[in-house]
Chain A
Amino acid sequence: MAEHRVVIIGSGPAGLTAALYTARANLKPLLIEGLEAGGQLMLTTMVENWPGFRDGIMGPDLMAEMRAQAERFGAEIIQNNVTKVDLSQRPFPISMADGRTLLADAVIIATGASARWLDIGSDRKLSGHGVSTCATCDGYFFRGKPIAVVGGGDSALEEATYLTRFASKVILIHRRDTLRASKIMQDKAFANPKIEFMWDSEIASVNDVEKGEVTGVTVRNVKTGALTEVALDGVFIAIGHTPNTSLFKGQIELDANGYLVTHEGSRTSVPGVFAAGDVQDHVYRQAITAAGSGCMAAIDAERFLEGLPGHVEQTHGSGLTAQA
Chain B
Amino acid sequence: MGEVIVITSGKGGVGKTTTSANIGMGLSREGKKVVMIDADIGLRNLDVVMGLENRIVYDLVDVVEEKCKIKQALIKDKRCSNLYLLPSAQTKDKSAVEPEQMKKLCDELRKEFDFIIIDCPAGIEQGFKNAIAGADRAIVVTTPEVSAVRDADRIIGLLEANDLKSPTLIINRVRNDMVKRGEMMSIEDVMEILSVNLIGVVPDDEGIVVTTNQGEPIVASQKYIAGQAYRNIVHRILGEDVPILDLEKCNSFFSKLKRLITRCF
Report if A and B associate in a common complex: no
